[in-house]
């Protein structure tokens, strides 16, 4: 590993997994880099929080077995124990609980045929095979899905199939309905369902603490303005811990924040790029994590996806945490984000629904934590290949600037981390 610092000084804006990927890649390549994060903690939409003193993650936490770059980064931080998150997932279809746990190919095919027409099933299997046998199809802009027509999923699959097979996927991954997700993004969704997930026994925080000991991180530091002169980024206006913004010089910048936020910062610098970034769709989501006095789920059913209503899914926090339930509220019925009163009602309703499905008596709650994101999940845009081409062209008009984020390769943590590495490589090329 190279550790000699270069004469150039880079900044990465955003302390989520995209920014961490970029900053770590720059650091490893021997460059001087600072990571700037407006919040008091790193992690962004991983959503670090605490439930009665126990560290929890309200946002992205499950790490796929195919998350090779992210797992390599975690391994660099030392020996970390993973626990399987499991693949058990049940769903409500027309009021009936259907559980798929290691169904095998034949079992999965029977499930698909039950949910829709043979044409829908064959089409999904075709796309599923493209993802299974070509790693690149798990990411946006791949050869197969990049060329896919810009139709939404509901234009290519029947209504029943959309409701019972695709909706549980899209509301969880994109917080969007099948009519709001494009065929070009299906590879990302299928890549996610084909993976198997683990979570870190001690969560991500120890990994991020290790990262912050390697790479200079400035928390509580908001970037107010990107300063460019003669077609080149020369620095940033930074407001640190609530103080008035001050200029800080940098030779290059990776902007690793969601597209809508990047659009705001870029509007005065490259208005055309800002306009392009504003085309990316995001949808809201709310998560409630509830600690119960006793196990709520059993080991037979560990998560349930709902086909209607504001609660899109409810599931155990981990296979060893059957008494902690994470309720996710996303999709059209969960918009706009609720106030405290409405959310309390949603949690009560979702809990009653799960109890009804599992035939459980009432169990007292010990404590509840909630978090809402107005723009939680990226639902991308119709023509990703065209979008990327325009971004490249518009980025060429300003030197010393690169982009990373969930809208480039996909929203999964691995894709975000990889987008950061790619941005760091492009910045120093």
Ligand X SMILES: Cc1cc2nc3c(=O)[nH]c(=O)nc-3n(C[C@H](O)[C@H](O)[C@H](O)COP(=O)(O)OP(=O)(O)OC[C@H]3O[C@@H](n4cnc5c(N)ncnc54)[C@H](O)[C@@H]3O)c2cc1C
Query: What are the residues whose beta carbons fall under 8 Å from the beta carbon of 94, sequence distance 6 or more?
Result: 164, 307
Peptide bond into 336 cis (omega under 30): yes
Give whichever of 46 and 124 is closer to ligand X, judged by the CB atom. 46
Per CB under 6 A, the list member of 12, 24, 34, 44 interacting with ligand X is 44
Q: Per rule CB under 6 A, is residue 37 in the interface with ligand X?
A: yes
Strands 89-93 and 303-305: parallel
Parallel/antiparallel/unpaired status of strands 9-13 and 32-36: parallel
Positions in 193-212 near ligand X (CB under 6 A): none
Q: Which is nearer to ligand X, 93 or 409 (CB)?
A: 409
Q: Considering only the stretches 204-212, 245-253, 314-322, 411-419, report the one whose residues sit in contact with ligand X under the rule CB under 6 A.
A: 411-419
Say whether residue 276 binds ligand X (CB under 6 A): no
Residue 121 or residue 408: which is nearer to ligand X going by CB?
408
- Local structure of 314: helix, strand or coil: strand
**Cα–Cα dist 337/330, whole Å:** 9
Does 223 sit near ligand X (CB under 6 A)?
A: yes
Minimum CB distance to ligand X, residue 16 (Å): 2
**First-to-final CA distance of the chain:** 18
Q: Which residue among 185, 261, 314, 379 contacts ligand X (CB under 6 A)? A: 261
Q: Between 100 and 245, name the residue whose CB sits nearer to ligand X.
A: 245
Q: In angstroms, rounded to a whole number, what is the distance separating the alpha carbons of residues 147 and 167?
A: 23
Using CB under 6 A, pick the residue from 287, 290, 316, 409 that binds ligand X: 287
| Residues in region 101-130 near ligand X by CB under 6 A | none
Q: How far is the CB of 220 from ligand X (least distance, A)?
A: 9
Round to whole Å and give the CA distance between 43 and 65.
20
Q: Is 77 exposed, middle or buried (0-12, 13-18, 19+ CB in 10 A)?
A: middle
Q: Which of 34, 33, 35, 31 is nearest to 3 (CA)?
A: 31
Question: Long-range contact list for 266-275, CB < 8 A, 24+ apart?
Answer: 266/226, 268/225, 268/226, 269/226, 269/228, 269/233, 269/398, 269/401, 270/394, 270/395, 270/397, 270/398, 272/394, 272/397, 273/391, 273/394, 273/395, 273/397, 273/398
Distance of CA 230 to the CA centre of its chain: 36
Token pair for 111: 């499930």
Residues 35, 36, 188, 311: which binds ligand X (CB under 6 A)?
Answer: 36
Closer to ligand X by Cβ: residue 166 or 411: 411
Q: Can you tell me which of 124, 217, 257, 277 binds ligand X, judged by CB under 6 A?
A: 257
Q: Is 19 in the site for ligand X (CB under 6 A)?
A: yes
Among 130, 377, 384, 418, binds ligand X (CB under 6 A): 377
Query: Of the candidates 111, 132, 218, 222, which one interacts with ligand X according to CB under 6 A?
Result: 222
From 10-18, 104-112, 130-138, 157-165, give the range in contact with ligand X by CB under 6 A: 10-18
Question: Which string of x and - marks every residue 51-90 that binds ligand X (by CB under 6 A)?
Answer: --------xxxx----------------------------
Q: Look at the block and give the residue holding tokens 């990776």.
A: 254
Chain residues binding ligand X by CB under 6 A are: 13-19, 36-39, 44-46, 59-62, 222-223, 256-258, 261, 285, 287, 373, 376-377, 405-406, 411-413, 416
């Amino acid at each position: 590993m190279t550790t000699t610092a270069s004469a150039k000084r880079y900044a990465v804006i955003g302390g989520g997994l995209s920014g961490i990927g970029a900053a770590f890649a720059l650091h490893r390549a021997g460059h001087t880099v600072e990571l700037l994060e407006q919040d008091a903690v790193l992690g962004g939409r991983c959503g670090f929080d605490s439930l009665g003193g126990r560290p929890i993650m309200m946002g992205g936490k499950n790490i796929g077995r195919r998350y090779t770059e992210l797992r390599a980064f975690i391994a660099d931080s030392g020996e970390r124990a993973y626990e399987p998150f499991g693949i058990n997932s049940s769903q409500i279809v027309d009021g009936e609980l259907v559980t798929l746990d290691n169904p095998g190919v034949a079992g999965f095919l029977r499930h698909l045929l039950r949910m829709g027409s043979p044409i829908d099933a064959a089409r999904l299997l075709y796309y599923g095979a493209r993802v299974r046998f070509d790693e690149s199809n798990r990411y946006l802009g791949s050869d197969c899905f990049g060329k896919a027509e810009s139709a939404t999923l509901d234009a290519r699959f029947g209504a029943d199939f959309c409701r019972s097979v695709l909706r549980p996927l899209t509301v969880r991954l994109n917080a969007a309905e099948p009519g709001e997700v494009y065929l070009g993004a299906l590879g990302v969704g299928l890549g996610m369902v084909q993976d198997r997930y683990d979570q870190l026994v001690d969560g991500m925080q120890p990994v991020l603490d290790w990262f912050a000991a390697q790479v200079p991180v400035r928390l509580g530091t908001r970037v107010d303005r990107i300063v460019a002169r003669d077609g080149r980024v020369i620095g940033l206006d930074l407001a640190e811990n609530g103080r008035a913004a001050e200029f800080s010089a940098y030779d290059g910048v990776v902007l690793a924040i969601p597209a809508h936020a990047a659009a705001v910062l870029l509007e005065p610098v490259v208005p055309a790029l800002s306009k392009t970034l504003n085309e990316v769709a995001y949808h809201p989501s709310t998560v409630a994590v509830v600690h119960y006095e006793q196990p709520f789920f059993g080991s037979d059913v560990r998560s349930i996806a709902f086909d209607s209503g504001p609660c899109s899914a409810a599931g155990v926090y981990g296979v060893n945490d059957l008494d902690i339930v994470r309720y996710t509220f996303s999709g059209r019925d969960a918009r706009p984000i609720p106030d405290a009163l409405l959310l309390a009602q949603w949690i009560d309703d979702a809990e009653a629904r799960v109890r009804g499905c599992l035939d459980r008596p009432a169990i007292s709650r010990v404590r509840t934590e909630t978090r809402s994101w107005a723009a939680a999940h990226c639902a991308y845009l119709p023509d990703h290949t065209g979008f990327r081409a325009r971004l490249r062209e518009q980025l060429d008009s300003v030197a010393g600037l690169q982009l990373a984020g969930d809208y480039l390769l996909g929203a999964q943590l691995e894709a975000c981390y990889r987008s950061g590495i790619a941005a760091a490589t492009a910045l120093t090329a």
